[in-house]
Amino acid sequence: MIPTPKELSVSLEANTVGTCLKAGKILKGFNVKDGRKVVLRTPRLRDLDDLLELINSLVDEKAEIYITQKFTREAEADWLLKILSRLKKDEQFFLVAEVDKIVIASSDFQVKDGDERNRVGAIGIIVKNGYRNLGIGTEMMKTLLEQAAFFGLKTMTVNAFATNKRAIHVYEKVGFAQSGIIPKKHLRQGRFIDEVIMSKSVM
């Protein structure tokens, strides 16, 4: 079921998430090239509609992401509640970027199953059209790496479509290096695309 307004207001707002961070906790603020102010913070339940608009806009755009089908509001609410639950248990760290009180990007890392000893984290990041090439993705990646150290992770990984040169450039800027390629992993618009695997040591 889709959460009611009352259910959306009750939440993890007062509870700790991640490494003793609260839902909606501001981690960083900065101005981008065009003068707009960006706030990086942990998510909260009231972000539901912004996050739904974000992912569905990328699906409409046919962006180079793994998701190809739009989410319903119910499915997105389900997903967000799971994210907030995983944050409480330190199984995941999640970060959003907010401009003019609207969420325009999201990023996260999860501790890979079975990697408790090696402590490997997998990063994901998406940025809405109109907010790219402004340095937002770079700042989000830097913040994720800072938080990874608090989680005790040793290595971070991130994957990208081989054709997504912008994303690969951002990952390289913050210290990631290519560690592998999966040939022809994705079929998009009638052609196969390789997937690039990148990694970075954080400890």
Structure tokens of 121? 């984290």
94 within 8 A of 143, measured Cβ to Cβ: no
The three-point CA angle 88-92-96 to 5° equals 95
Domain assignments of the chain as residue spans, ordered by start: 5-153
pTM of this structure: 0.86
Percentage of the chain beyond pLDDT 70 is: 87
Over residues 38-54, the pLDDT tens digits come to 999 999 999 999 999 99
Judge whether 65 and 32 are in contact, CB under 8 Å. no
Question: Residue 30: is its pLDDT beyond 90?
Answer: yes
State the Cα torsion 146-163-68-126 to the nearest 10°.
20
Quote the pLDDT of residue 149: 87
- Extract the runs of DSSP E, i.e. beta strands, from 26-119: 26-31, 37-41, 92-99, 102-111
In CATH, which superfamily holds the domain spanning 5-153?
Gcn5-related N-acetyltransferase (GNAT) (3.40.630.30)
Torsion over CA of 136, 131, 60 and 3, rounded to 10 degrees?
A: 70
Residue 80 DSSP code: H
